[in-house]
A and B are shown apart, each in its own frame.
Chain A
Amino acid sequence: MSLRILVGCKRVIDYAVKIRVKPDKSGVITEGVKHSMNPFDEIAIEEAVRMKEKKIAKEIVAFSCGPTQCQETLRTALAMGADRGIHVEVSGPEYETLQPLHISKMLAKLAKDEQIDLIIVGKQAIDDDCNQTAQMTAALLDWPQATSASKIEAKDGSLQVVREIDGGLETIKVKLPSVVSADLRLNEPRYATLPNIMKAKKKPIKKLAPKDLGVDVSPRIQVVTVEEPPVRQAGAKVENVDAVVEKLKALGHA
């Protein structure tokens, strides 16, 4: 097998940062805040690189959509072992209202243009927690999908994927080409080696506009307000179990 893999890498606010809402409640503060690659997308890149090392894949294309700084995200992907990057530049208000459907349309178009055999994305992004992009992309392409993957094995033109589902683990077989979304336990991403970081600088990143892919990124939603979660209230102590039940009933919870 020698697959060409497309990996989606989203630039998100770093998981360790304390999120703060803008004073005008229009969104969260992103200016000057540390950003990194979505952790699930790091797992996706790592899986693609491992497939290339096992000679199952021949080329890895990393994709990111967003402002100029997405190039840094792509450089990280290249340093980890991707061969080239594609940056679809979207910024400003259009970036704020970008939705999984827009990204899915871009991935679908790129899959056709670049003759992709396998798309791997993280199962969800840690900023919007949508868990939609893989599924929508598969539907747009009419390709099979294997989401929340915790193990991928390539066998004779198809993939055997173990999925983490609510009830436990489900093993399915999907024919290629297909879309897979990476879950937490799929692998542990590597640290880029110093020589690879140097080499990443030479790898090409192609810049595109959404219209080059025929995708309209005008907003489909409008953000009304963004607020912090309510401050946690103090609890109340009661004497015994009956009193607990009474209290719960009174508060409308039972």
Chain B
Amino acid sequence: MALQLRRLSLGLAKFQQARNASILTSLPETHELLRKTCRDFAEGELKPNASRFDKEHLYPKEQILKMGEIGLMAIVVPETLGGAGLDYLAYAVAMEEISRGCASAGVIMSVNNSLYIGPLMKYGNDQQKRDWIQPFVNGDKVGCFALSEPGNGSDAGAASTTAVASSDGGWKLNGTKAWITNGYESEATVVFATTDKSLKHKGISAFVVPKPTPGLSLGKKEDKLGIRGSSTCNLIFEDCSIPKENMLGKPGYGFKIAMSTLDGGRVGIAAQALGIGQAALDCAVDYASKRKAFGQSITKLQSIQNKIADMALQLESARLLTWRAAALQDEGKIFIKEAAMAKLAASEAATFISHQAIQILGGMGYVADMPAERHYRDARITEIYEGTSEIQRLVIAGNVLKEYGV
């Protein structure tokens, strides 16, 4: 079914007004319906295949296409460009449900929505939006985001990839980007390179580069612990020429673009972590309800109940933080601290919950017959990418101290 380019007569502003702060108690009706649709999709299309994608390191091409048809690969993009025209809360809800089915499908969706389309929507001109967003909304083509390098992850300002101006007004890129999700399947990348080293991090600019392109080659596919359905590799630029129209935003704005993009990406990854955590909790409770020890179901044992309470508490807390960050983003307010809190809370919740899920399953948690071990492996990356937990803490502390004026 082709994605229909109908104009929504419903003003998004009107819709946001109607959806007031009561996300503290429940989602608005449309978002509940959206959640149900995504959950049904995840249960039907992702959950039965997630183990196979993981074991075989298989990119879920068919499922990504179906997700594209529903509108999941460009949730916040306006319908005029072929997107679903929804809000960031809808994105967070959808990300959680999809990731609950398959964490790899979740990250592929998140990178396309937040890290690739995100900066193009915010900083791209009309031509760039038509060229680089429109073909990437229906799951057929996906994009990626290249900031990290072998020599710097957290220290993004130290980017050593260079972009030298060519005589025709274009640019020549040289350098290597590392840990790029969707590296293999993507047909375009947003990449950050230094245009003026003397300006340090204010000398970094953003570019969009098509793939394949002469001078751009891929490193080997990384053999990861988890999210094995998504490809991760280096992007190697060797005298890679790009036309001047491919600079994204103003020269020297690259660092700013990267940081603001990552804020949005953090809500997406927080939601991915919620999905993994929920899946692990579901697995643990289901197992515990059927397992007997000492003459009764282990759900009656205090040790198990304590774990389940702690798991549910961390998950719910992280979920509320995630929804709040998304709601602030929808209201156009600054949400840097809240996004960092959401990502930190959700990723630590995911690792905690999946750890305890294995514990509840005992020996069964350690073998591939049950999904607990996959959730454990998938959860681990959420504390690392799109800003390590350590960086999130620095961001939060910086903002809190600023609020106190100290």
Mark A residues whose CB is within 8 Å of B.
16, 72, 75-76, 79, 190-195, 197-202
Q: Given A193-B71, A194-B90, is A76 in contact with B36 using a C-beta cutoff of 8 Å?
A: yes
Q: Report the separation of the CA atoms of residues A16 and B70 in the bound assembly, to the nearest whole angstrom.
A: 23
Closest chain A residue, CB of each to CB of B44: A191
A193 touches B70 (CB 8 A): yes
B41 touches A195 (CB 8 A): no
The smallest C-beta distance from B225 to any residue of chain A, in angstroms, reads 31
Contacts of A201 in B (CB 8 A): 10, 29-30
A194 touches B8 (CB 8 A): no
Looking at chain A's contact residues, is the secondary structure mostly helix, strand, loop, or mixed?
helix
Q: Report the separation of the CA atoms of residues A202 and B34 in the bound assembly, to the nearest whole angstrom.
A: 15
Further pairs besides A194-B37, A194-B84: 15, Cβ < 8 Å: A75-B33, A76-B36, A191-B41, A191-B66, A193-B1, A193-B3, A193-B4, A193-B70, A194-B71, A194-B90, A195-B6, A195-B71, A199-B8, A199-B10, A201-B29
Greatest chain B CB density within 10 A among A72, A197, A199, A202 is at A197
Interface residues of B in 76-96 (CB under 8 A from A): 79, 84-86, 90, 94
Closest chain B residue, CB of each to CB of A192: B37
A-B contacts at CB below 8 angstroms, number:
60
Q: Report the separation of the CA atoms of residues A164 and B29 in the bound assembly, to the nearest whole angstrom.
A: 38
The smallest C-beta distance from B32 to any residue of chain A, in angstroms, reads 8
Mark B residues whose CB is within 8 Å of A.
1, 3-4, 6, 8-10, 15, 29-30, 33-34, 36-37, 40-41, 43, 66, 69-72, 75, 79, 84-86, 90, 94
Looking at chain B's contact residues, is the secondary structure mostly helix, strand, loop, or mixed?
helix
B34 touches A197 (CB 8 A): yes
Contacts of A76 in B (CB 8 A): 33, 36
A190 touches B1 (CB 8 A): yes
Contacts of B1 in A (CB 8 A): 190, 193
Contacts of B10 in A (CB 8 A): 198-199, 201-202
A79 touches B33 (CB 8 A): yes
B8 touches A195 (CB 8 A): yes
Q: Report the separation of the CA atoms of residues A200 and B37 in the bound assembly, to the nearest whole angstrom.
A: 13
A200 touches B70 (CB 8 A): no
Greatest chain B CB density within 10 A among A76, A79, A195 is at A195
Q: Report the separation of the CA atoms of residues A191 and B86 in the bound assembly, to the nearest whole angstrom.
A: 17
The smallest C-beta distance from B3 to any residue of chain A, in angstroms, reads 7
The smallest C-beta distance from B400 to any residue of chain A, in angstroms, reads 36
Contacts of B43 in A (CB 8 A): 16
Contacts of B71 in A (CB 8 A): 193-195
A191 touches B37 (CB 8 A): yes
Closest chain A residue, CB of each to CB of B9: A202
Contacts of B86 in A (CB 8 A): 194, 198
Q: Report the separation of the CA atoms of residues A190 and B69 in the bound assembly, to the nearest whole angstrom.
A: 10
A198 touches B8 (CB 8 A): yes
Q: Given A190-B1, A202-B9, A202-B10, is A195 in contact with B33 using a C-beta cutoff of 8 Å?
A: no
Q: Report the separation of the CA atoms of residues A197 and B34 in the bound assembly, to the nearest whole angstrom.
A: 7
Greatest chain A CB density within 10 A among B33, B36, B41, B90 is at B33
CB-defined A-B contacts under 8 Å, sample of 11: A190-B1, A191-B40, A193-B71, A194-B34, A194-B37, A194-B72, A194-B85, A195-B4, A195-B79, A198-B10, A200-B33
A195 touches B85 (CB 8 A): yes
Closest chain A residue, CB of each to CB of B75: A194
Contacts of B15 in A (CB 8 A): 198
Contacts of A194 in B (CB 8 A): 34, 37, 70-72, 75, 84-86, 90, 94
Contacts of A192 in B (CB 8 A): 33, 37, 70
Contacts of B75 in A (CB 8 A): 194
Closest chain A residue, CB of each to CB of B35: A197
Closest chain B residue, CB of each to CB of A201: B30
Greatest chain A CB density within 10 A among B4, B36, B72 is at B36
Q: Report the separation of the CA atoms of residues A198 and B6 in the bound assembly, to the nearest whole angstrom.
A: 12
The smallest C-beta distance from B102 to any residue of chain A, in angstroms, reads 15
Q: Report the separation of the CA atoms of residues A190 and B71 in the bound assembly, to the nearest whole angstrom.
A: 13
Query: Which 10 pairs from chain A and chain B are nearest by CB?
Result: A194-B71, A194-B84, A191-B41, A193-B70, A197-B33, A193-B71, A192-B37, A197-B34, A191-B70, A201-B30
